[in-house]
């Protein structure tokens, strides 16, 4: 999917919501847990319940890799259940020496037809370049995260700037807004405006709204640009909105609430 198609979907639905499928067996409704295909059936139901109100899905691969071969099969079947109109993100946080990254890129862009993958920037350009070489695919680089450990490195001062600002400004020159996005945590809303000055045209993927306490209003005010430029991810707040048999209806309602609020900011 190219940037213009994603933007058109956002404007058409008046939503820049991304639903995170961070599914854990012990957190889905108990009446499903004994089903042999519980995680897959749960994912399919969540997708069907939310697809009218979101434009993207983000699959955190760790939750599937932890299940071994079966988990990979579930991830692949989940991916194929997502409508072709929706942007599909592999939240895999890969990044290694060039020949290894090339295999990661092949895994998630060819073997599994994701539109985008999250990557870690620490090892530099040769670890990211193989992902950027794919046409009509996006590389989503960790920019400023919302975890406590962000203070260990990302918030270090390098001269007059923070390290995360150096990382984002440097990497912005390796790609362009048509193949490069950045992850910025929603709880870092105060920094989103400064990041937007560094990368005015790139999309930002913003997790942390909902259970982590990020403000959708603050993120939207600071991050929206002329082509929208935002994907705001919500995971637990939507997929675990209810642990009862009405979980699909509750997921629909929460997703709709996000969409209605987002429409007011567009």
Sorted by sequence, the CB contacts under 8 Å of residue 169 that are 6+ apart come out as 198, 199
Look at residue 214 in the predicted model and tell me its pLDDT: 78
Distance CA 122, CA 46 (A): 34
Please say whether the beta carbons of 109 and 136 come within 8 A: no
Residue range 217-237, pLDDT digits in tens: 999 999 999 989 999 999 999
Query: Residue 173 is part of which domain span?
Result: 3-265
93 is catalytic: yes
User: Binning pLDDT at 50, 70 and 90, where does residue 212 land?
Assistant: low
In this prediction, residue 182 carries a pLDDT of 98
Residue 257: both structure tokens together: 């609430």
- The predicted pLDDT at position 106 comes to 98
Identify the pLDDT of residue 173: 97
CA 223 to each of CA 16, 72, 212, 265: distance values in angstroms, whole numbers, following the listed order: 12, 34, 18, 11
Confidence band, pLDDT 50/70/90 cuts, at residue 211 = low
Distances (CA, A) of 129 to 26, 43, 200: 38, 32, 21
Residue-level pLDDT at 130: 98
pLDDT, residue 218, reads 92
Q: Which residue has the tokens 């935002």?
A: 230
Question: pLDDT tens digits, residue range 48-105?
Answer: 999 999 999 999 999 999 999 999 999 999 999 999 999 999 999 999 999 999 999 9
Dihedral class, residue 197 (left if φ above 0, else alpha if ψ from -120 to 50, else beta)? alpha
Q: What average pLDDT does the segment 174-188 reach?
A: 93
Q: What is the pTM assigned to this prediction?
A: 0.96
The predicted-structure confidence for 112-135, as pLDDT tens digits, reads as follows 999 999 999 999 999 999 999 999
**23-59 per-position pLDDT tens digit:** 999 999 999 998 989 999 999 999 999 999 999 999 9
pLDDT above 90 for 209? no
Number of domains, the chain: 1
* Residue 107 exposed, middle or buried by CB count within 10 Å (0-12, 13-18, 19+): middle
CA–CA dist 66, 70 (Å, integer):
9
For residue 198, what is the domain's CATH number? 3.20.20.70
Q: Catalytic one among 3, 58, 70, 93?
A: 93
Q: What integer pLDDT is reported at residue 38 of this predicted model?
A: 96
Average pLDDT, the chain: 95
């Amino acid at each position: 999917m190219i940037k213009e198609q994603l933007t058109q979907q956002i404007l058409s639905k008046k939503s820049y919501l991304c639903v995170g499928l961070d599914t854990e067996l012990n957190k889905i409704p108990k009446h499903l847990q004994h089903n042999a295909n519980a995680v897959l059936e749960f994912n399919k139901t969540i997708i069907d319940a939310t697809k009218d109100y979101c434009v993207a899905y983000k699959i955190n691969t760790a939750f599937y890799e932890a299940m071994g071969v079966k988990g990979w099969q579930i991830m692949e079947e989940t991916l194929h259940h997502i409508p072709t109109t929706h942007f599909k993100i592999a939240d895999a946080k890969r990044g290694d020496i060039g020949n290894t990254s090339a295999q990661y890129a092949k895994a998630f862009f060819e073997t599994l037809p994701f539109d985008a993958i999250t990557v870690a920037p620490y090892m530099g350009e040769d670890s990211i370049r193989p992902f950027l070489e794919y046409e009509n695919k996006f590389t989503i680089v960790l920019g400023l995260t919302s975890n406590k450990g962000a203070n260990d490195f990302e918030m270090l001062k390098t001269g007059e700037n923070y390290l995360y600002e150096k990382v984002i400004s440097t990497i912005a020159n390796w790609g362009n807004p048509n193949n490069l996005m950045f992850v910025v945590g929603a709880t870092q809303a105060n920094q989103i405006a400064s990041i937007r000055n560094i990368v005015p045209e790139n999309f930002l993927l913003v997790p942390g709204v909902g259970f982590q306490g990020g403000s959708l209003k603050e993120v939207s005010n600071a991050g929206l640009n002329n082509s929208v430029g935002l994907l705001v991810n919500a995971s637990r707040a939507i997929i675990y909105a209810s642990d009862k048999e009405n979980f699909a209806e509750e997921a629909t309602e929460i997703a709709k609430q996000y969409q209605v609020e987002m429409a007011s900011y567009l």
